[in-house]
Chain A
Amino acid sequence: MTHTSLTAVDWLIMLLYFVFVLGIGFALKRYMKTSKDFFQAGRALPAWICGLAFISANLGAQEVIGMGASGAKYGLATSHFYWIGAIPAMIFVGIFMMPFYYGSKARSVPEFLRLRFDEKTRALNACSFAVMTVFSSGISMYAMARLIQTLHVFDSIFLSAGLPLGYIFHLSIILSAIIVLGYIFLGGLTSAIYNEVLQFFLIIAGFLPLVLIGLRNVGGWSGLKASLPSAYTHSWQGMTHANTNPLGVEWFGLAMGLGFVLSFGYWCTDFLVIQTAMATDTQENARRVPLIAAIPKMFFPFLVILPGLLAIAATTPKEVTTQRVEANGAIVHTITFPTEAEAKGKGLVPAKTDPLTGKIVLDASGHPLLDYDLAIPSMLLHYFPTGILGLGLTALLASFMSGMAGNVTAFNTVWTYDLYQSYIHKGGTDKHYLAMGRWATVGGIILSMATAYAATGFNNIMHHRGPPASRPDPAHRSPPRPPRRLDPRHSQLPQRHGPELLDRHLGLLHQLHCLHPGQPHGQTQTRVRARRPRPLPDPKTRDGPSAVVAPPRSPGRPADRHGSNSEHHLPLESAVFSDL
């Protein structure tokens, strides 16, 4: 992708966001007097804040990057993840399940399971959830660092400071860890919720102008419809049979598998979102929280999926010559060459490059594979001038960090109440558990960092040789390519860290979003697929959602089904829907 540098304005906006995020944490510190304040936000937050945090906890990297990628790949059918795969479950959890959760006065979902069933159910759920949520947080951290590296937006600052570009990855991980640790340590769940609401508005602020500019560029909705195949702009077309629509599902599998099994399994049981609903002040408000969240959720397809459609409908970058007359009369020609990946891509979605060979990855018929995960970042870098570009990138980073924060607060609550208090140190003082919660935050962040580094080991064997690409390795140097710009004022950034190195890491995101039900693995390259950072079920068949979920349980009491399903589905649901 053409290397866009950030200017001082962009950095200023990013810095401002981080200052406010930490500032909110500091401002909340004095209200954290008891463990209830820290872990459950004192159960005193207003419904609108919890409602927006409910949806925002879910709006991590998976939504922002993954939905854009799915939109570029499958078209508007991706909206089913919202309108079928979220709204019904959110309404259900608000109306029917929140009375159970809130009324039981349980402090976490595992504790609710103990009240409803028994201690061993709680232990199983707590252990599996704690592990899963720390992994989620780590993968968010990793994905953010990789994305920053791929976009090359920090390159100019690092080069001017004389630091090797390989340090960008480490700096991203450490910086995000410090910031999230800072505001969670100080303000607990309240801080996490407040920052999630901030992130919600920031995502709208960052993406709405992108959609508006992109739509205008392509000629409005009718222009978009004209430039894409009709399967892209219809969500129900061809749903009677799996072969006639891009998602590869049919309506029954979609409605039952996604709309019932998968979505209920996530929205009704994942403590990451439930903790925000349980933080509100009354039971009536607790029931309203998911309903409040469902309203913006209905409109989010236009914010996250539409950019993916716009990316694929845009014109593919070509060589561009611009001519400028300088003040002294000199005529300057600037010829901008798109990179090979951009030129061989479709629209603004670049082609996938193999990080080891630097070549474009081809599918069986010889066409280049597309790197859909880069659809939304590509759009941001292409359409946003400096200034608002800082805002767009801040929104992107905010979504990753907010996902991490939600996971870390869920971890420290489950660890302190369900593991530490129940098995290790019963009957301690409240102050003791409050201190434990703070240390659990530190522990959670350290484990997340460990997961993030473990993920690098799985996805790129180059890291076994040392710091990522910090020294030239002849085997990995990309073949000489035409200079990007002939204008000597534009710096030539080293080609070592081009997309060929980093695209591989975003393959992780691609794999994770490909594991949404019904998405065939047709286009993932085998080499990347063979290396997974965590054991995820491999949908070997292409039958759609029913292939991915466990077989349906025998009908029992409604509470039974939800309770016993929750700990079974929790790791699976989190694998598919977990907040990245």
Chain B
Amino acid sequence: MNLDLRIPMGLMFLLVGLILTIFGMVTNGSEIYLRSGGTNVNIGWGLVLLIFGAIMFTLGRRNQRRLAKEPQKPQEPGAVRRGH
């Protein structure tokens, strides 16, 4: 498979982390954080997810670039395979 999962997964967590962090910054000090014991979990956890997503995305891209540089394996012949 040429699609490295870390790319879309990293991207998703990056975006989710970004959304949570921005929302957390906007609502800082709001009463909605009474439920979580006063801590702004959106900022905290948003940053954690942002970092995680960024790491995954970078690893995925690095792997993809490394595979792209390697000499391509010869393609399988296009003949149809019968089920065995």
- Our verdict on whether A and B bind, yes or no, reads yes
Residues in A lying within 8 Å of B, measured CB to CB: 9, 12-13, 16-17, 20, 23-24, 27-28, 31, 34-36, 41-42, 44-45, 49, 190, 194, 197-198, 201, 205, 209, 213, 216-217, 324, 382-388, 391, 417, 421, 427-431, 433
Select one of A20, A23, A388, A430 contacting B82, CB under 8 A: A430
Count of A-B residue pairs with CB < 8 Å: 105
Complex contact A205–B13 (CB within 8 A): yes
Given contacts A49-B5, A197-B5, whether A385 and B83 have CB atoms under 8 Å apart is no
The number of chain B residues with a CB under 8 A from chain A is 33
B81–A34 CB distance below 8 A: yes
B35, A197: Cβ atoms closer than 8 Å: no
Shortest C-beta distance, B49 to chain A (Å), equals 6
Q: Judge whether A28 and B19 touch: CB under 8 Å.
A: no
A471 to B19, CA, bound (A): 39
Q: A9-B19, A16-B16, A31-B3 are in contact. Are A430 and B83 (CB under 8 A)?
A: yes
- A20 B45 Cβ-Cβ under 8 A: no
Q: Which of B1, B20, B36 contacts A190 (CB 8 A)?
A: B1
5 closest pairs, A vs B, by CB? A385-B32, A387-B42, A430-B81, A20-B12, A387-B23
- The answer to whether B33 and A433 have CB atoms under 8 Å apart is no
> What distance in Å separates the Cβ of B14 from its nearest Cβ neighbour in chain A?
11
Give the distance in Å from the alpha carbon of A487 to the alpha carbon of B41 in the complex: 27
B interface residues, Cβ below 8 angstroms from A: 1-3, 5, 8-9, 11-13, 15-16, 19-20, 23-24, 27, 31-33, 35-37, 39, 41-42, 45-46, 49, 52, 80-83
Known A24-B3, A385-B32; 10 more pairs at CB < 8 Å:
A9-B19, A9-B20, A16-B12, A23-B8, A24-B5, A28-B3, A198-B12, A385-B41, A385-B42, A430-B82
Q: Which partner residue on chain A sits nearest B39 by CB separation?
A: A213
Are B45 and A388 neighbours in the complex by a CB distance under 8 Å?
Answer: yes
> Which residues of A are found within 8 Å of B19, using beta-carbon distances?
9, 12-13, 16, 387
CA distance A431 to B80 in the complex (A): 7
A384 with B35: in contact, given A34-B81, A427-B82 (CB under 8 Å)? yes
Given A205-B49, A387-B23, A388-B42, do A20 and B8 touch, yes or no (CB 8 Å)? yes
- A204–B66 Cα gap in the complex (Å)? 29
Closest to B63 in A: A46
Contact B9 A213 (CB under 8 A): no
Nearest residue (CB) in B for A19 is B12
Check if A217 sits within 8 Å of B1, measured CB to CB. no
